[in-house]
Each structure stands twice: as structure tokens, then as C-alpha cells.
Structure 1
Amino acid sequence: MVLKIGRGAEAPPFLVMDVIAAANARAAALAAGMPPETPPGTTGPDGGRVIRLEVGQPGTGAPRGAAEAAIRALQGGAPLGYTEAFGLPSLRARIAAHYGTKYGLDVPPGRIAVTFGASGAFPLAFLAAFDPGDRVAMAAPYYPPYANILTALGMRPVLLPCDAATRFQPTLAMLERLDPLPDGLIVASPCNPAGTMLTPDELADIARWCDRNGVRLVSDEIYHGLSYGRPEATAAASSPSAVVVNSFSKYFSMTGWRIGWMVLPEELCRPVECLAQNLFISAPHLSQVAAEAAFDCAPELEANVARYRRNRDLLLAELPAAGFDRLSPADGAFYLWADVSALTGDSVEFCARLLAEADIAATPGVDFDSGRGGRFLRLSYCGPEADIAAVPGRLRRWLGR
């Protein structure tokens, strides 16, 4: 008898995870002194150590104050059991206070949901806001799990092709041309993979358009705090119906702690709470304790941002001479979206060679745009400064420039 496989298993892979696995294997082989066959002179100046540009994970760990709060909680002897499904009241209050301090916005703690990372927030938001068959629009290129989670849940991604002319962001004119209108829209500012941002006015216009037209807006704001001279705005300031997703993974440098949050419209609070109770019970108690303390670690966190800015500025200045001369402006986050069509039309093969021959791990653009991504790479610059500084030289040697 052949057993059925559920339609959720049809979700496409998140290819960056495969790149991570390949980079780990390459690094392990190099560390063992048994590198695969590599053309002479193409490894890095430090003997071929893999430089990791493939994953959006800060090279730093949790801020010291957050780690120390977790240690105190572990040593205190109290059981770190389940919390309420929406999280510790003290953490929710601290997140609400953050909206007042950063955005001048009064958000009641009752509208805050602490989640199992932003990755845990998206299925909760999608299940509460949409039905199977609903159409949800997003700019392309896009963060792959948006479309993959929607697909697994029986919803339909609607891709809006964007390019350098729109700074890889959707425009109000694009949305107004859609017929029929979608049931939802996902925006991200700063976005992954291009690192570009909507202006506060552009975000406000889109949020109000969605609210007027019955289109549920999901605003991914997980890269807030990581911007370089451009102002950040939250969709919650412009629309009472928007769902805002944020995380402690990026600015707060707490990826492995799996802790995030949502700002929910009133009508979705109880539906999301019921879903969270059943799907996740609660976010990890220890991570919530650490996350609350992370709000008091601004000097350390801002030092991280300054490092990302230096990495960004170095790559923007030096990559063109290495053959990477068509780069997104990188307003925020820690990514460059590189048009490498002058070098390849197959970003998967190009990234495989880049790893095998130059010991640089990068993510092929097809992960973010299946139609046009063969001409693009995503480069993450949140790693150690010494690694980032070595990248242009390796690329020049590899490409013979």
C-alpha cells in the first residue's frame, strides 16, 4: 500500500539552508586537511578558510546583558515552564514601551504576541488572516519562506516583479493595477534580499491603501534597527488592520534563541492566541527572559550596527573592481543583492564554483526569485570584519582581475 503524502510536503525548499550545509561540509573538509580538488591559486589568503556570506545570521551572539539575565534565571532555581501563549506580561509590556520610545506609538501590551521567532509568527498570521485559496501579493525578489509557508497552507503567492527602478520594493501604482485585488500583501522594509527600504510616506500610503481596500497587510519589520541613514517606520502607525512581525534575531543578535513578536490588530488577537496555544504553546521561557534584558543593551547592539555599516561600505566601494558592479543600495539589513548577469546566467552553478574554488559561500538568487534569480546572488555582510575585508581580494583572484 502506498500512503498519501500531504500537500504541505509540496512546499519548495529554502535553498539557503542547502548552501549552509554545503559550506559546513566544505569548512569541515578544509579543517581536516583534506580539501576537495581545487584549482591552484584560487583559495583564500588564509589557506582557504570558508568565508560565510550565505546566511543572514549576525556573527555576534546575544548581547551580554541578555546572556547574563538567562544565567541568573537558570541559577535561580525556579522552573522555567510554559508561559502564557502570548508570552510573559513583562516582556509584552517592554515591547509595547519600545513602540512608544522608537516610533512615538501607543501600542497596548494586549496587542503584542511573543512568538517562536519571526518564523513562528508568519504561519500564525497567515492562518488567522487568510483562507486556503486566498491570494497574497509580495514583491519579487522576496524572502522565500513567505511564499513557501503560504503554499504549504494552501494559499497562493502573487509575485510583483520589482527591480532596481523601484528599488526592489512594491509601489502603490503596482498595487492599484492588480485585478482582482489580492486578499493580502506582504511588505518588508528593510527587505531581504536587497536591503532596500520604503520611505515612511511610501509605507504609510501602502498601509492606508490596504486598509481602505480590504487587503490584509503583513509588514515584516525584523530588520528594524539595521538601517544606514534612512528613517524607519512601522505600518502599525498607519493602519489599524496591519499585522507587524518583528524579531530578536537580527538587531538583537539572538537568532538561535528563537524569539520574536507580532503587533496584532484587535480582531486577530484571540484567533492568533488560540492558534499559538495549539501550535506552539508558548515561546521558550528562557529566551523571553533574555529578550526582555536585551532592550537594555543598546551600546553593544549599536556597536554591532556600526560594524555592519563598515562591512557594507567596504563592499560597496571595492566589489565593483572585483567584477560585482551592479549592487543594490543596501539601505538596511545586512545584504547586497548583486546582479551578476555579466558573469553568469546560472547562479546555482556559480555559487557552487565560488564555494569550491574560492571558499566563499553565497546564496544563489533563484532562492529569492525563481524567474530572474539565475542572474543574481545575495551576499550577507554581517560576519567578522576581517572576513568581509578579504572578500574583494578573493573574488579578484578567482575571476582573474
Structure 2
Amino acid sequence: MSASPPFRPSRRSAVAPFVVMEVLAAANARAAAGADVLHLEIGEPGGGAPPAAVAAATRALAAGACGYTEAFGLPTLRCRLAEHYRETYGQVVDPARIALTMGASGAFILAFLAAFDAGSRVVVTEPGYPAYRNILEALDIEVVPLPTTLETRFQPTPELLETVAGPIHGLVLASPSNPAGTMLARDELERLARWCRARGIRIVSDEIYHGISYGTPAETILAFDDAAVVVNSFSKYFCMTGWRLGWLVLPDDLVEPVIRLAQNLFISAPTVSQHAALGAFADRPELERRIDGYRRNRAHLLRALPEVGLTRMAPADGAFYLYLDVGAFTDDSVRLCHRILEEAGVALTPGVDFDPPRGRHFVRLSFAGPEDEVSRACDRLCAWFRRERPSGGAR
């Protein structure tokens, strides 16, 4: 019998792990062993899917209406989303440009494949959602990191983009952002869109946290750039994470390419989830009530954390995260998060998940959970950091 061939995983599969999922696994293991764990590590809206979504899914299951849909999804849901853009942003969107996808993750795969060739150079801000760079790298698209700071509110600007050496073919934009929760004002977004359009740079705008803001509502890139791609999802505002349903709003030139890609890669998004999403629009008052809970959680944390020396953080204009500078306490955020989980029973995400070069001085916490849980977690964190403060210095 001949020797086995030297099989090995593909080079494209050698992407970095999604650290927050590893933190979740460690926290769950600790809880399974009987320890009390409070979860601030994952962006999981509290409360589950809205009741009207569950009722719509139940009706669809009872009626047996869960076979394949066309590649872009149920026409009724696409029309409802087009209405959403008219109601929310005053934007007229042809339902033919809207594609239902396997979560926002599936939307990013389709958008990146359709918009960029292998070897294209796409700018991703640091800190930023790690799946951007990991998906791009798996598709052999070159990731061009753009370091941002608290002083720029962790958002890109034309001035920062001017510092990038070499050509730029794309920019991934997020407002509100993950992990910082910062938003671009209307004039900032318009200026950035104008700068990119003048240079032939395609914007992919992650608008998954739209609807969750604590002042001025977020603006959509569609108001300023008809060549941009919008990614959104029912996971965050609509609280339907496990239903795995996202959507794309596509420019005209990418509609047919994405149809072909979606047909071959996914066939269609989950049909029962699409029926549920139609129902979710009927529960807007309930969803707004949940955002009021996030707002109270945010206010509580912004009052309490500075009292224990955590004063440098993004303003969290939207989404449900705080990105904290913990450089006064550590130069190893992974070890810090491990200690806090073991010693205080609170799960946080180390900043290296979002900014590999500089994230060792940062942690992200999510305040999307129930108010009592976030309050108890805040009390434990404050007690832990208060104990650490007297020893002083980075450790």
C-alpha cells in the first residue's frame, strides 16, 4: 500500500480565530462547572426574538411554507425592507436591489466576492470587527489596516486614508462601529463618501447596528454613494441572532453577480427566518423598549467605570459596546480578561480581537444583556479594578 499523500489544510483557511467565541466557550465551561458567570463578552441582545417574529415563524411552520425561496429571498420581505428604507431614511430603494442572506456574515462573503478580485486592497480600520479582515484574507483579498485612535473616535477620515501607501480598491465602514460604538455624523459620512467616490474606492458599509443609537440616528451610506454596498442584519436591532438572517442593498452593477453567487453558495437564506422577520416589523414598540434598557445600561456604566480609573473610552454613540483603555492596569488584555473571569466571574473580550497590534491595552464589554445582569457585572468589575488600583502601573 502506497504512502498517504501529504494532505494539508488550504492556506486560505489559516485565518485568525474569532477570540470572542473562545472567550464565550471559556465562560460557558466555567458556568458548567458550577461557577457564577456574567456575560459582557458577546453582542447578544437580551430577550430573544420579538414575540411577533416567533408567531410568524410558527404560522409558517404550520402552513409548511418553508421550502426554498428564490436566491434573493421572499419578495414580500424585500418589499418590506424597501419600505423600511423609505420610512427610516427617506431613501427610495428598488426591492430588486435587496438580497436576503445567511446572516450578515453571508452578506459579507457575497459582497466581498462580487466587489473585489483576489489581490484587491481593502482598507479595514483598527480596531474593527475581526470577521472583516478574516473573511477578506480567506478570499485572498489584501487587508490594508488603518490604525485609528480615541482622538479620531476610532473612525476613518479622508486625512487618515491619505496616509495609506499604494492603491485602495475598497473601504469597510461601520457606523455605529464594533467595538467602539462610535458613529459618523452626516457631514463626516458625506465627506468620506465623496473622497472615496472621487478615487474609485468601493465602500462596503456595515449598518448592522442601525436603529440602536443614543442621540442622533445613524445615517445610511445610500444617501451619499449609489455605488456603495450596504450590509445589515436582523440580529441586533431585531434581536434575532440565531435566526441567521441578514440583507444586502446592492448597487445596480452588483445585482446580477450577487444573484449568481448566492444561487451557488447558499441557494437561499433560511425561509422560516424570513417569515419571522416579516413578523418582527410588527413589534417595533417592544424593540424600542429594549433599546431603552441598553440606554440605561450604558448610562450606568458611564457613571461607574470612571470612578475606578477607567476614564478613556469611546463615547458609544450607538450599538451596545464600550471599548475601554485598560493600559493603566495591563499590557496584556488577554491575561487581564482571563483574570477577571477567574476572579470576578465576568466575561469580557480582549482588545486584540479587534486590533491585533494595539488591542493588548483595551477590552470590549457589551451592555446588551438584562439590566440586572449588567448592573451586577458592573459592580463586580468596579470592585475588581478598585482592588487593582493601589498597586499602580501597568502590569
Q: TM-score range by the shorter chain?
A: over 0.9
Distance 1:136 1:388 in 2: 36
SS at match of 1:297: helix
Q: 1:180 — aligned with what? A: 166
Q: 2:248 — aligned with what? A: 262
SS at match of 1:276: helix
Match of 1:58 among 40, 45, 50: 45
Match of 1:348 among 331, 334, 345: 334
Deviation at 1:200, TM superposition (A): 1.2
Q: 1:237 — aligned with what? A: 223
Q: 2:59 — aligned with what? A: 72
Match of 2:20 among 16, 20, 23: 16
Over residues 91-122 of structure 1, what are the superposed CA-to-partner deviations in whole Å (9 max), with x where a residue is unaligned?
00000010000000100000001111101100
Distance 1:392 1:249 in 2: 25
Q: Which runs of 5+ in 2 are unaligned?
A: 388-395
Q: Which runs of 5+ in 1 are unaligned?
A: 36-48
Distance 2:222 2:65 in 1: 35
SS at match of 2:144: strand
Distance 2:366 2:17 in 1: 20
Tell whether the 8 Å contact from 1:138 to 1:170 is kept in structure 2 after alignment: no
The root-mean-square deviation of aligned C-alpha atoms, in Å, is 1.1
Percent pairwise identity: 58
Deviation at 1:400, TM superposition (A): 4.3
Deviation at 1:180, TM superposition (A): 2.4
Q: TM-score, normalised by structure 1?
A: 0.94
Distance 1:129 1:399 in 2: 45
Count of residues in Structure 1 that have an aligned counterpart in Structure 2:
383
**Structure 1 residues 357-368: aligned runs within 5 Å:** 357-368=343-354
Over residues 194-245 of structure 1, what are the superposed CA-to-partner deviations in whole Å (9 max), with x where a residue is unaligned?
0000001111221222222111100000000000002311111111110000
Aligned AA (1:303): R
Q: 2:177 — aligned with what? A: 191
Distance 2:385 2:189 in 1: 40
Change (3 A) 1:364 1:319: same
Tell whether the 8 Å contact from 2:72 to 2:101 is kept in structure 1 after alignment: yes
Aligned AA (1:302): E
Distance 2:74 2:385 in 1: 53
Distance 2:98 2:155 in 1: 27
Distance 2:13 2:364 in 1: 26
Tell whether the 8 Å contact from 1:323 to 1:396 is kept in structure 2 after alignment: no
Q: 2:324 — aligned with what? A: 338
Distance 1:56 1:92 in 2: 26
SS at match of 1:296: helix
Distance 2:309 2:26 in 1: 24
Tell whether the 8 Å contact from 1:11 to 1:152 is kept in structure 2 after alignment: yes
Over residues 343-374 of structure 1, what are the superposed CA-to-partner deviations in whole Å (9 max), with x where a residue is unaligned?
00000001011111110000000000011000
Distance 1:393 1:313 in 2: 14
